[in-house]
Amino acid sequence: MTNKHRANNWIDGLRGVAALVVVTYHLCSCFANWLNSPAMEEHGSVHVFQYPFLRLIVGGRSSVALFFLITGYVNSYGTRERVRDGDAGLALVGLSKTTFTRTAKLVLPTNVALIIGWGVCQLNGYSVAAQVDSSWIRAGAVAPGPTLCSALWALFKNLTVFWHGGVGIYDHTYWTIPFFVKGSMVVYLTLLGTAYTQTRWTKLILAFLYIFAWSGGQSLADINVYAGMLLAELSVDYGPRATSVISRASSISMIIFGLFIASFPDENVDWMPWSRAINNLAVLVVPAGGEVNRYVISVGTTLFSFGVFFSQDARQVLSHSIMNFLGRISFPIYLIHNTLIRTILTWLVYRDSAMREGLHPVNAEGNPKYLKRGGILTFILGLSIFYAALFYTSYLWTIYVDPPCGRLVAWMSEKAFGETEGAGIAVKEEALKGALLT
């Protein structure tokens, strides 16, 4: 993808926003998990970042929903565009290659990050994190293997079983990535089943699948994936005209209303009238046993995304070069931010306490106690260094990790499909098109 094309890609901006919100959500989980509630306590005061809209800085679940929606959009747009152009055969060939390459481009970098996390662990890089007063940081501070064999065996399990269970040994924030792989497979299967359906019927099928997933409790991935696929259909329909389909006021209203709904808190929803009202409405339509929070946030995220799609102003903001840069480094941000939290940020925030009391502090009775975090100035300095390290390391990732992974994926694709990019694929595509017409 050329830089010129990427500069006009508002989806990249959405990726960047989602990645940054995931980071702030995890930082708040480390040091201010009370922000997950809409107030400090029942009938108590409200912190400024607990109000609707502002509380989206801890909107981790809205970011996850947004990532799944983007998965549905990006993975289906090219195929649907080719189908609409009458190249269904070519679209199916492209779909086959996309299924292979996009999956590999998700799995390989993730495994690289897993290996890095394993290496940091074996070098005892999480020793401070295991002793701090933040339960969220401690939960990811895995002890190194007692022997080399046990450490290697743990790494092997992390590179294999992880893709079934979704629980990363060395980074517990990776639990979503296997679901992204499964969500991609849902896209590919749906595209295959609708390759020859008429446009109107394709949209009806997607709407039906959305409702079916909703009623089946698939609030994490499927409903957002189908929403993204429907957005891709509209994108093929309208193209550049999308921003003039509805009025500016209507698109901005969708964005604002979507963000309000996506502000729904993770915990203690009955503590404030606005969150209680949303919850009372949601329980009427969420299936029994469904996770109300994820359903509500998914609806809010979808409304926001569709509002952005129809808004020229929002697209311009998300297509800014800074947003474009954040979009390019969004996946590395997702992959390495937790490792940096448990190492660099933890060392900076708890450094003074560790130097005073050692890595295994005890109280006056000789019982173990946790290291205490520093003051506000320590936080400001620590967060500044953390974000600088995060952005720079993510940028380096796009230079030194992504290209080798891309070349490996290209090599595997060439071997798997028995051809090189160029004339070979063109000949086979034409042959396939001919076969489909006879």
Cα 326 from Cα 303, distance rounded (Å):
23
CB 16 within 8 A of CB 326: yes
Cα 116 from Cα 148, distance rounded (Å):
16
Cα 120 from Cα 143, distance rounded (Å):
10
**The two three-digit tokens of residue 21, written as one number:** 């919100």
**306-323 burial, b for 16+ CB within 10 Å, e for fewer?**
bbbbbbeebbeebbeeeb
**Token match 């992390």: residue?**
158
Average pLDDT, the chain: 90
Q: List pLDDT tens digits, range 203-228.
A: 999 999 999 999 999 999 999 999 99
**Token match 């897993």: residue?**
114
Cα 294 from Cα 301, distance rounded (Å):
10
CB 344 within 8 A of CB 275: no
Q: Computed from CA positions of residues 239, 243, 247, 251, in that sequence, does the dihedral angle turn out positive or negative?
A: positive
Please give the average per-residue pLDDT across 173-183, as a whole number.
93
Q: Which domain holds residue 198?
A: 3-437
Please give the average per-residue pLDDT across 160-176, as a whole number.
86
The total of structural domains in the chain comes to 1
Across the strands, what pairs with 362?
A: 368
From 263, 65, 78, select the one nearest 179 (Cα to Cα): 65
Q: List pLDDT tens digits, range 95-148.
A: 999 899 999 999 999 999 999 999 999 999 999 999 999 999 998 888 999 999
Cα 420 from Cα 407, distance rounded (Å):
13
- Model confidence, pTM: 0.91
pLDDT tier at 419 (50, 70, 90 boundaries)? low
What are the Cα distances from residue 61, in Å, to 36, 184, 252, 299, 378? 11, 19, 22, 12, 28
* Residue 427 pLDDT greater than 60, yes or no: no
From 99, 89, 148, select the one nearest 123 (Cα to Cα): 148
